[in-house]
Amino acid sequence: MFKYIISICFLFFVVKGQAQEQQDELNIDSKTDSIIYKTAYGLRLGVDISKPIVAQFNNTYSGFELVGDYRLSKTFYAAIEMGFEEETTFEDYTNSTSEGNYIRLGFNFNAYNNWLDMNNEIFIGYRYGFSLFNQTLNSHTPNVNTSYFPANTISTPITTKNLNAHWSELVVGFRAETFKNFFVTVSGSYKILMYVKEPENFKTLYAPGFNRIFESGTGFGFNYTLTYLIPFQKK
């Protein structure tokens, strides 16, 4: 009888030990599954490298743009771009140069659901753009040419200062974290002109930040940016 009691007690302790071991494994698995991957929140700053590249192949253009954004929530970012552009435009009877500064303010919404601790984006956004610039009519030919009295080209520059333009932009792009806190972004924008101040007896043909102004009052833009994130916290 005493032998049976000892055997039962031994079996009880063995079963209890196995049950405790299984419970510990479940707890470990539960802790593993409940790991929360936090992402960095902070200020991201960089430069648009597409403009210097374009300037290398187009001697009528020069430009420089700084970009930045600040993460407000898991999916929303406040965004800003500011820069300088100079563009010479050739028409059939005119040659003009626009130069000045611009700023674009708005937001991006990240529609991409990252895996684990990834920090990539497929985003859509909006910008309000404002440009302050000068335009110089370098030369022009009066459009009165005939075979008998050809018009002479007038080469005296005429500069109009303090011109401005306002517009809206719809932005679509994607951003990839190639190294820790370092991002490459490609984006395109559809621009809608809201207002432009015209010089006297001429038209504004190019507004820095908006690009070429057509009769439709619409245009397109392209950005290729390199940025670095300065993390303030993780959430």
Band the pLDDT of 30: cuts 50, 70, 90.
Answer: very low
Kind plus residue range of the DSSP H or E element containing 179: strand 158-179
Tokens coding 133: 């610039």
Tell me the chain's radius of gyration from C-alpha atoms: 31
Residues 6+ apart with CB under 8 A from 209: 83, 85, 102, 103, 104, 129, 130, 131, 165
> pLDDT digit string (tens) for 74-120?
999 999 999 999 999 888 778 899 999 999 999 999 999 888 778 89
Whether 22 has a pLDDT exceeding 80, the answer reads no
Residue 31 in 3-state DSSP? helix
Q: What percent of the chain has pLDDT over 90?
A: 61
Asked if 114 contacts 222 with a C-beta cutoff of 8 angstroms, the reply is no
Band the pLDDT of 37: cuts 50, 70, 90.
Answer: low
Asked if 53 contacts 63 with a C-beta cutoff of 8 angstroms, the reply is no
Q: pTM for this one?
A: 0.80
